Amino acid sequence: MVNLGIVDGQSSSSDDEARESLESYRSSPFALRPFLKYAKYQYHTYVWDDDESDDECSTSTGTMQQRFLESLRDSSGVANSSGVANSFGGRLEGTPVDTYEAFLKHDALVRKKLEDDQRRMLSALEERHRELYAKDRETVKLVVTRFQAELAEKERLEEAHRRQEERKMQESVLQEEAQKAREAEEKEARRLAAEKEKALYSLVNLASDEALANHKALVDLLSRYNSELMPFCEDTSAETRGVKRSIKKFITLSVQQISATQEQVKRKSAGILEFLAQQHGLHQMYALVTLASKMVSQCDAQISRLPSFAFPLGEVAVSVGRAFPEFLNLLLAVLQNECPLCVPMTFKPGPKADKDLRYYEGLRFKITDGVVENVEEYVTRLQGFVRLYAAVLQVDRDPQTMEAALGQAWAYTAWLLNALPASRFTASALDAFLSVAGWRLFGRFGRQFVKMMDYVSTHFLRELEDIGDSDANAVATRLRSFVGSKLYRNEPKGRSMPLRDISSQSRA
């Protein structure tokens, strides 16, 4: 309890001392200051002291006021019991109440000031918060705006790139279509040019009328075989495929096993004849065509490398022809189909000369993807075909058929010299034919054949020299040696075959 300088009833000694004490209290300007100071200190400490603990700060203002009221009551009781008068001549009965009212007023002002300060502080905090919030919103807005701008720019670039790719693709498609259109136009232009050229120029064959007539008959024979065998060849049944396979296999092996001995020629001829006799109808026709084709294929495979192989092959062909007369004509038809100079027939070069593919196609050059076969290879194959033809015609047989065969050989030589111009190709065909059949022609026609050889040396070879073809010098030299040295008087090498293979006898 606050000490106001008033002693309670238990401690007072006399009225005089009490009065002096009260007067002293009243006369002092600071009589109430210790209390007010204490009250203000207590309020100040309770309300604003930041150093107090949270438990002390949680004390309510009402509790403090209650304590202060009790203090005032205690003071009032002490004063009233002593009977001391106040400074205005009255007693001190109303003084604590006035003081309490003054304190309440002061406390209300302080509270109001505190509330105003708190309100201002809250307003300032709210304003600061609004400012920071607005600033944050502006920052976020700027970030979002920047992100949206970057995203829009990225989408714009992607769209531009996509449109550029589409334009490139469209341009590529247009260029491809334009290229195809140009190619089509060029192709059509080439076709029209070819047709125009074809209208202006046609491949002209050079041959005698008799040779062409004989050739036509052989072409008709080959066409008849082709038309009759077409259903059989196109039949894909297992049985037909098996028959064709067995025929091809036997014929191929038999032809490949022919060798330049009398014994082997007889053995293979007999085997082939026996096999052909077992065939009937279309099977036999197919076997004959296959045999002719396989023999002709040996011109490129064997005769071109070994010219004497034409003699045993011709012997087997004539042996088959005796039993099947139509076979020799079929063989000659296949020869002429593969080599026009077996007719004999050649063609007049067109305006493009050696660049005219039709000219080479007519002569049966091999053409692969527009590339023409080498001339040396063609000449070698050509001589192989002609040698087989000559070997078939010179084979010994009965007098009647022998006369017909030699007459055909004479006609071939005459047709070539009279109707065909001198060239490397015609000279190569003449050289190959005479080297195989010249000996038999000389034996049959004698002086007439010698006169023919004189014509070769005086006219044909001179015409060959006049064309100025340096590549024809080799064949021209061989022909000049054949005629000048009269090599046609000697039997050609390889015509007389041994009875059997000498090497096999030595091994035995």
Domain boundaries, the chain: 15-93, 204-507
Residue with the two structure tokens 């010249």: 438
Domain spanning 204-507: which superfamily? Answer: GLE1-like (1.25.40.510)
Please count the other Cβ atoms lying within 10 Å of the Cβ belonging to residue 52. 14
Tell me the three state secondary structure of residue 491: coil
Query: What confidence score (pLDDT) does residue 141 get?
Result: 86
How high is the pLDDT of residue 494?
A: 92
- Structure token digits, residue 92: 């001190």
Contacts of 205 (CB under 8 A, 6+ apart): 212, 340, 345, 346, 347, 348, 362
In this prediction, residue 507 carries a pLDDT of: 42
Q: What is the DSSP letter of 204?
A: E
Give me the amino acid identity at 8: D
What does the pLDDT look like over 135-174, one tens digit per residue? 888 888 888 888 889 999 999 999 998 999 998 888 888 8
- Is this prediction's pTM over 0.85? no
What count of other Cβ atoms lies within 10 Å of the Cβ of residue 22? 22
Region for residue 364 given its phi and psi (left: phi exceeds 0; alpha: psi -120 to 50; beta: otherwise)? left
Low-confidence ranges of the chain (pLDDT < 70): 1-97, 194, 197-202, 350-355, 502-508
Stretch (H or E) spanning 199 = helix 95-200
460-494 per-position pLDDT tens digit: 999 999 988 888 999 999 999 999 999 999 999 99
pLDDT at 52: 43
